[in-house]
Amino acid sequence: MEKEYNLSITYKTSRISYVFNYVLVLLIILLLAILYPSLNLSETISAVFVFISFIVILILFVEPQWERILRRYIITDTEVIKIEGILRKNKISIPMEKIADINLKKGILGRIFNFGNIKITGFKNKIEMKGIRYPEKVYELIRGRIKPRKKED
């Protein structure tokens, strides 16, 4: 049974962050449609070629779903948590007062489709929130919950 958190928000990797996978699948399908009829392969080699192409397309297309099923991120009022796995769960948490650094990274596609990665570094652990939609809002949410440390004289 999982713990419920006050003021918690759950995030998952966005499907749009895998836009490159979808474009690659489309290109493979187009290449197959154009090149396959002109290859004149034997039936065995042709079947293997189609099977391998199908597996590659399936992997590229299903990867975003697996990512969304296997990994989630929870931001509470006191900590940032990363939970991975289905049968065997791996949980990493960084309390807000232990966050040493937080970085936001957006590539070209991330800037176009508004997704990015947020890397949270604690004193012991690191959490990278991959492919998060509206990363600036998440970044500011975490920054707002980090309590300023008192300077020691």
- Give domain status of residue 152, yes or no: no
Q: State the residue range of the domain holding 87.
A: 9-13+73-145
CA–CA dist 36, 33 (Å, integer): 6
Band (pLDDT 50/70/90 cuts) for residue 1 is very low
Co-location of 85 and 62 in the same domain: no
pLDDT average, residue stretch 25-54: 80
Q: Report whether pLDDT(35) > 50.
A: yes
Question: In the prediction, which pLDDT does 40 show?
Answer: 73
- Give domain status of residue 97, yes or no: yes
Q: What percent of the chain has pLDDT over 90?
A: 46
pLDDT average, residue stretch 72-77: 94
CA–CA dist 72, 13 (Å, integer): 7
> Would the pTM of this model clear 0.85, i.e. be above it?
no
Sheet with 79-84, strands from edge to edge, namely 9-11, 71-75, 79-84, 90-95
**For residue 7, what is the DSSP state?**
T
pLDDT average, residue stretch 58-77: 89
- Give domain status of residue 3, yes or no: no
For residue 38, give the H/E element and its range.
Answer: none
pLDDT digits (tens, 9 = 90+) for 78-134: 999 999 998 899 999 999 999 999 999 999 999 999 999 999 999 999 999 999 999
CB burial string 94-106: b at 16+ within 10 A, e below? bebeebeebebeb
